[in-house]
Amino acid sequence: MTTAIEVMRRHRSIRKFTEQPLSREQREAIMAAAQAAPSSSFLQASAVIRVTDPELRGRLLPLCGNQAYVVGAAEFWVFCADFHRHLQWVPAAKTGFAEQLLIGAIDTALMGQNALTAAESLGLGGVFIGAVRNHPHELSELLALPKGVIPLFGLCLGHPDQDPEPKPRLPAALMFFENGYPAHQDEALMGDYDERVRHYYRSRTGGNKDMSWTGQIGETLAREARPFMLEFLHRQGFCLR
C-alpha cells in the first residue's frame, strides 16, 4: 500500500488541537496541494478565506454552531464556490445556471479534500465545518462575500491534541456496484454495520450514545435542513435558471 493511501485510510476528524501554529511552509504546502485539485473546464470556481483575525473568528463562532475549534484551531479556512471572479474579468460571462452550482461545489470540495489530506500527510489534523451554512447571510456579510460567491464549508487545521478511533464506514458492497444500481441490498450486511456503528458510539461516548447508522439517518432526514438555502443561493446569483 502506498503512503498516500495509508494517509487517507487513517483519516479521523480532529476536534482538539494544541496551541502550536502551522509554519508558513506547512501552510503554503497545503494551499499548493489544494490548488492542484481537478477543476471542471479549468474554471477554478473556488475561493478560500483564511480567517486570522481573532475577533472575527469570535464573531463567526455562533454562526458556526458554537463549535469551539472554530476559534481554537491554528487555522480556520472557509471554502467558497466563486463565480464573481469570472464576472469580474469577463463581464460578458453567463452565470446563474444550476449546473454552475454543481461545478462550484464539486471543484471546491475537491480542493478541501486535497487540503485536508495534505495536512494529514504532514502529521496535522483537521475537521470540516458544514455549519458555515447555518447562517449564510450573516457569515457572508462578515466575510464580505460578493454576489457570485457562496460559503460551502469550513476547515479547521492544527496539531492534534487527541487520537480518536476512526469512524466505521459502510461496507464496500453497500456502496460500490458493478454495471448498474442493485434492485435490493444486503439486509444482513446492513444489520452488521448498524451494530458496528452502535458499538463505535457507545465506546466513544462512554455509553451515552447508542445509535445505529440507519437510526441516525432517520433522524437527520426526518426534516428539511436549512430551508432558507434556496433563497440565499438566489440572492447570491446561483440557480437562477
The pLDDT value recorded for residue 205 is: 87
* 3-state percent helix, strand, coil for the chain, nearest multiple of 5: 50, 10, 40
- Asked if 17 and 73 touch (Cβ cutoff 8 Å), the reply is yes
Torsion sign across C-alpha atoms 79, 82, 84, 86: positive
Distance of CA 66 to the CA centre of its chain: 17
Domain ranges in the chain? 3-164+225-235, 172-210
Summarize pLDDT for 128-162 with one digit per residue, the tens: 999 999 999 999 999 999 999 999 999 999 999 99
Gap between the Cα atoms of 127 and 156, Å rounded? 5
Gap between the Cα atoms of 136 and 226, Å rounded? 10
Instruction: Show the cell assigned to 9.
Output: 485510510
Gap between the Cα atoms of 69 and 125, Å rounded? 12
CATH topology of domain 3-164+225-235: NADH Oxidase (3.40.109)
Could you tell me the CA-to-CA distances from 73 to 17, 54, 63, 101, 239 in Å, in that order?
Answer: 6, 11, 16, 29, 34
Q: Shortest CA distance to 148 belongs to which of 103, 190, 188, 116?
A: 103
The pLDDT value recorded for residue 204 is: 87
Q: How confident is the model at residue 1 (pLDDT cuts 50, 70, 90)?
A: confident
Q: How confident is the model at residue 226 (pLDDT cuts 50, 70, 90)?
A: very high
Q: How confident is the model at residue 54 (pLDDT cuts 50, 70, 90)?
A: very high
Angle at 23 between CA 21 and CA 27, to 5 degrees: 100
Of all residues in the chain, what percent carry a pLDDT higher than 70? 100
What is the pLDDT of the chain when averaged over all its residues?
A: 97
Q: How confident is the model at residue 26 (pLDDT cuts 50, 70, 90)?
A: very high
Torsion sign across C-alpha atoms 115, 121, 123, 127: positive
**In the sheet that 125-129 helps form, which strands lie side by side, from edge to edge?**
46-50, 75-82, 149-158, 125-129
